[in-house]
Structure 1
Amino acid sequence: MQASLCHFWGYFRFMGIKHLLEAIHMHSETLLLAQHYLLALFIIFLIGTLGGKLAEKLGLPDVAIFIVLGILLGPSVLSLVDIHAESTMNQMILLFGACFIIFHGGVITSFEILQKVWRTISLLSTLGVVITAFIVAFAAMWIFNIPFLVALLLGSILASTDPAALVPIFQKFPIRRKVAQTVITESAFTDATGAIMTTVVFGLLFSSKDAGVFSIGFEFIQLALGGIIVGAIIGFVATFLISENDRGLLREFTPMVVVLAVLGSYLVAEQIHASGFMSVFVTGLMFGNAKSLRLTVLPKEEQAAHQFIDAVSLKLRMLVFILLGSQVDFAALKQYGWLGLIVIAIFIFVARPITVLASLLPDSKAKWTRPEVLFFFWTRETGVIAAALAGIVASSGLAEGKLVSAIVFMAILVTLLLQASTTPFIARKLGLLESSSELKKGEQ
């Protein structure tokens, strides 16, 4: 009996020690992974800060420098940053980055500009998104011989422009205010509507229902309207809480209110099957136009909010675009090579001009000039939203997911390195850079 007890006790101790060692091993693996991510973040912020300074010296958009630095830091070259596109960490960074950047786009959008060019913006962000998506879809279906819905998914992902690339350019270079504000507003709206269209097509791909025009339209309206309502409510409440009123309880915590508004508007909208991206944009729109809502935000709180938003946006641009550069799959790019470039050429030189003409020409009240229309032709950057959506597609198990991701990353590389870096030059050649006297007049 005593021998049996000793044997049982020995077995119990052995199993206890075994489980303890396994727990320690699992803990050490988790700790090492956390340290790996921290090291990657440290390298990204260190090199990104130096890259931002270099971009300032060269007079180039920082996102173009960030994506080149990402390629150099990634597994294909120096292997200093290796965060997989399908990882939870990467998806969280891209998702939060996308939400915050769209929110920033809403904050810098003024109701005054919207009132003047709302027809153009409405057409660009609805009809324009559809035109771009379908032209790219037909091109991809013909070139790669893929199902139409898969091709339309690719077109939907590429249909939105990128405020993360555009906002810094227009903040740095004095491009004509009407044009700059319209392009920024378009990018913010199309990010939301492009994401909605992608969500609809993605859902149709994995459902047993046939894709019909009415079902797509109904889903689109449901997602957009729900996002607008949620964003308007949360945006008003957040602005009210930091405004000058008896119940402005959170004025001292303005930066925290910004973060809560971004996360809250996205999560609430998604929970009720509405567009989180549209909700975030409308929240930013309400936040940035407090005076139009008859809410007075004190200069101190307003300055704190803008400083915080600018600082966080810079860090997120740095983080997102260096990560995107590090995840470029050169094997996939080589595999799809010239055929992918043909799709992107159609995307830039066919889909964009047709979209712009269909959206700007009907708006006679905006009185768009020929140089302004030509500038719209070239201002077509693709970036963080497309990358976030492509990441979701890549991790979904879709058979053509690798093809979609490769074409999206090729579009990001081409538009950022070619178009974003030359946007100031094109504006100068078209005579759209404002003089100092024009800037003062506009400020007055």
Structure 2
Amino acid sequence: MAIEQAASSLGTVPAVALVGALGVGSQWLAWRLQLPAIVLMLVAGVLVGPVLGLLNPAQEFGELLPPLIALAVAVILFEGGLTLNLHKLGDARAGVLRLVLIGAPLGWLLSALALHYAAGLGWEAASVFGGIMIVTGPTVIAPLLRHARLQKRPAALLQWEAIVNDPIGAMAAVAAFHVVLTRLGGDTNGFVDLAARMGFATMVGLAAGYGIVKVFKGGRIPEYMKVPVLFAVLLAAFALSDHVLHESGLLAVTVMGLVIANADLPSYEELRRFKEHATVLLVSGVFILLAASLDFAALGKLTWRAVLFVAVVALLARPATVLISLIGTAVPWKERLLIALTGPRGVVLVAVAGLFGERLVAADVADGALIGPLAFALVAATVVLHGFTLTPLARWLGLADGETAGVLLVGGSRLSTALAEALAKAEVPVLIADPNHSHLFRARTAGIPTFYGDILGEAAENSVEFLSFRVVVAMTDNDAYNTLVTTDLAPEFGRDNVWQLERARDADSRHALPTQLGGKRIGAGRGYRAYEQLLRDGWTFRVTRISEEFGFENWREKHPEAIVFATLSRTQDLTFPSNGDPTVPAGARIISLVPASVPSSKATAENEAAAD
């Protein structure tokens, strides 16, 4: 009784606030603890919902809950479509086509077999739910990829498969449902009408996408209204398509996002980043709502067959689908194995499964009542399983960056090469990028990995494993380019992880830039030319480990003229002190510039050797 009163006392506005706080809080806590965010959101939703009774989404939102979730899923899929730039597919193109063209129907078949023989569902319910199970969950894949830091190709394969197969799974469920109704004598529209409606959804998506591209490129929409107009057209396309054929709105918005992603819009990055922020909020909210809506009584209908079903799907059906689909492709076996063992389900599966479960029950298919509980059991099991296994599996297969995050140095020069050699001595992965081939000669001679090209260009997106790097340091001789690079990459790496050399005229108020532009500054009053001159004068970089026996004060006594250029923490986090000497704890390392005339003392030499 107390639980019911607690649930009834919570109003709609407090419920929205609670969902937002739990969703965003779970993501922040996951970032702090280095845990999968999806797992924490699932736990938070279950705790405030069926366990504590603080939140009852059906009661608080009433009839608005299903359309709210449907619209949120539409926005999530549209944002996913915005990431599907065909030019960025690269060598993952063949694998993606196989996973969609072969993997989708094969996954449908194997899922239906698992549902029939393992879960014990009849063929009607198994065929409908099997179509929905094509979906691998972009709402789950995106946070997992962010956490696991996969290499480019396996990440692209998982992301494209999840986003493209999402509307395909919904359409497969619609087609299977029409087959069931036809067999039961309750449907007279036929498959011609179904195909026509799916074609209509595709045309709506194409028209909306090309319409947005045309008016944006033609300058008919002011910059400040582009995001609101985009949202309005997105919702209209979804509503129109979904009105003609239920669940076809997912197909329409995905097609719309795909068109815009490949149109080379000047404002594309601003649109995509805003959509990413909206998606983080929506994924958090939807997952909390669905977890809080869990009905323990419905789960009580499940038997040991549900456990067998989840095991068969995760260990047999999913691996077989991927491995068969990728036969004959150039995808290495390690990447095939990783993708085969990674198939989390998410929001779309639960939402669509619940809808069709109710429709099957209304059509006198008794097994339809089990679809919702089975869907939630599958989502919960795969989210927890892959949330905790993807990162170690990827590292074991060598498909993710190691514990040490790399440093991306932009600008090939004497300074960047000397710093790269010092970082390499400290076992920090490093890459030097420069659009001028001759600037990279010194780095290549020193054996430092290099990238020839503009780091902001399309070639860099296809060739550089950005997920392998945590810190960006812009240190070219062009202050404007350093500012451009750090401003552009700050949303991707985080503003605290992008650095640039002190600008020559930063102190002049007439030439000073707003704090929103550029990265954090390196050096106290020294710019590119000052550091280059020091190196020409014989100054060198040294790496020294600070210990309990040899503290920072001891090091400073030995090197009073040295410049502390950067520090490396125990966890290999690179920072650049701005003013004065930093506080360096025991276990950290100093990357310093010392005059050539200063010899290493015995203690310093021992600590520098330890740094190696």
Which residue type is aligned with residue 42 of structure 2?
A: I
Matched, 1:68 2:43: yes
Higher relative contact order (CA 8 A, sep 6+): 1
CA drift of 1:176 comes to 1.1
Q: Which residues in structure 2 correspond to 1:72-111 (within 5 Å)?
A: 72-74=47-49, 76-84=50-58, 87-111=62-86
2:259 aligned residue: 286
With over 3 angstroms needed to count, the CA separation of the structure-2 counterparts of 1:200 and 1:439, relative to structure 1, is farther
2:209 aligned residue: 235
2:337 aligned residue: 374
Distance between the aligned counterparts of 2:111 and 2:74, measured in 1?
A: 25
Which residue type is aligned with residue 210 of structure 2?
A: F
Matched, 1:277 2:244: no
- SS in structure 2 of the partner of residue 39 of structure 1: helix
- SS in structure 2 of the partner of residue 433 of structure 1: coil
1:418 aligned residue: 385
Q: Specify which of 380, 388, 407 is matched with residue 374 of structure 2.
A: 407
With over 3 angstroms needed to count, the CA separation of the structure-2 counterparts of 1:56 and 1:339, relative to structure 1, is same
With over 3 angstroms needed to count, the CA separation of the structure-2 counterparts of 1:210 and 1:122, relative to structure 1, is farther
Distance between the aligned counterparts of 2:67 and 2:342, measured in 1?
A: 28
With over 3 angstroms needed to count, the CA separation of the structure-2 counterparts of 1:54 and 1:233, relative to structure 1, is same
Distance between the aligned counterparts of 2:339 and 2:131, measured in 1?
A: 19
CA drift of 1:159 comes to 1.6
CA drift of 1:115 comes to 6.1
2:237 aligned residue: 265
Contact 1:158 1:386 in 2 (8 A): yes
Q: Which residues in structure 2 correspond to 1:311-350 (within 5 Å)?
A: 311-350=277-316
With over 3 angstroms needed to count, the CA separation of the structure-2 counterparts of 1:162 and 1:38, relative to structure 1, is same
With over 3 angstroms needed to count, the CA separation of the structure-2 counterparts of 1:210 and 1:111, relative to structure 1, is farther
Greater displacement, 257-266 / 116-125: 116-125
- SS in structure 2 of the partner of residue 335 of structure 1: coil
Cα displacement string for residues 377-431 of structure 1 (whole angstroms, at most 9, x for unaligned residues): 1220101111111221244344323201010000010111111332222211111
CA drift of 1:49 comes to 2.4
- SS in structure 1 of the partner of residue 253 of structure 2: helix
With over 3 angstroms needed to count, the CA separation of the structure-2 counterparts of 1:402 and 1:84, relative to structure 1, is farther
Q: Specify which of 26, 30, 33 is matched with residue 51 of structure 1.
A: 26
1:433 aligned residue: 400
Distance between the aligned counterparts of 2:338 and 2:86, measured in 1?
A: 23
Compute the RMSD of aligned alpha carbons.
2.8
Contact 1:348 1:380 in 2 (8 A): yes
Contact 2:98 2:325 in 1 (8 A): yes
Contact 2:205 2:251 in 1 (8 A): yes
Contact 2:137 2:348 in 1 (8 A): yes
Distance between the aligned counterparts of 1:173 and 1:185, measured in 2?
A: 17
Cα displacement string for residues 157-212 of structure 1 (whole angstroms, at most 9, x for unaligned residues): 2221111111233245431111111211111111011010011112232335789x
With over 3 angstroms needed to count, the CA separation of the structure-2 counterparts of 1:413 and 1:117, relative to structure 1, is same
CA drift of 1:129 comes to 2.1
Matched, 1:358 2:324: yes
Contact 2:299 2:373 in 1 (8 A): yes
Which residue type is aligned with residue 390 of structure 1?
A: A
Q: Specify which of 161, 168, 183 is matched with residue 158 of structure 2.
A: 183
Distance between the aligned counterparts of 2:377 and 2:273, measured in 1?
A: 33
Distance between the aligned counterparts of 1:389 and 1:106, measured in 2?
A: 19
Distance between the aligned counterparts of 1:152 and 1:288, measured in 2?
A: 33
Distance between the aligned counterparts of 1:159 and 1:190, measured in 2?
A: 6
Distance between the aligned counterparts of 1:227 and 1:424, measured in 2?
A: 37
Which residue type is aligned with residue 381 of structure 1?
A: P
2:604 aligned residue: none
With over 3 angstroms needed to count, the CA separation of the structure-2 counterparts of 1:249 and 1:95, relative to structure 1, is same
Distance between the aligned counterparts of 1:118 and 1:84, measured in 2?
A: 42
Q: Which residues in structure 2 correspond to 1:124-163 (within 5 Å)?
A: 124-163=99-138
Q: Which has the larger radius of gyration?
A: 2
Cα displacement string for residues 94-115 of structure 1 (whole angstroms, at most 9, x for unaligned residues): 2012111111111111212446
Distance between the aligned counterparts of 1:438 and 1:374, measured in 2?
A: 29
Contact 1:98 1:385 in 2 (8 A): yes
Which residue type is aligned with residue 423 of structure 1?
A: L
1:391 aligned residue: 354
Distance between the aligned counterparts of 1:255 and 1:35, measured in 2?
A: 33
Percent identical: 23
Contact 1:55 1:65 in 2 (8 A): yes
TM-score, normalised with respect to structure 1: 0.81
Distance between the aligned counterparts of 1:285 and 1:404, measured in 2?
A: 31
**Unpaired runs of 5+ in structure 2?**
1-6, 407-429, 434-450, 452-459, 465-612
1:164 aligned residue: 139
Contact 1:160 1:190 in 2 (8 A): yes
Which residue type is aligned with residue 352 of structure 1?
A: R
Contact 2:148 2:391 in 1 (8 A): yes
Greater displacement, 184-193 / 195-204: 195-204
Distance between the aligned counterparts of 2:15 and 2:253, measured in 1?
A: 28
Contact 2:198 2:245 in 1 (8 A): no
- SS in structure 2 of the partner of residue 80 of structure 1: coil
Aligned length: 396
Greater displacement, 187-196 / 103-112: 103-112
Distance between the aligned counterparts of 1:156 and 1:144, measured in 2?
A: 15
Distance between the aligned counterparts of 2:377 and 2:332, measured in 1?
A: 32
With over 3 angstroms needed to count, the CA separation of the structure-2 counterparts of 1:439 and 1:71, relative to structure 1, is farther
Distance between the aligned counterparts of 1:197 and 1:318, measured in 2?
A: 27
CA drift of 1:220 comes to 7.3
1:249 aligned residue: 221
CA drift of 1:271 comes to 4.0
Contact 2:197 2:244 in 1 (8 A): no
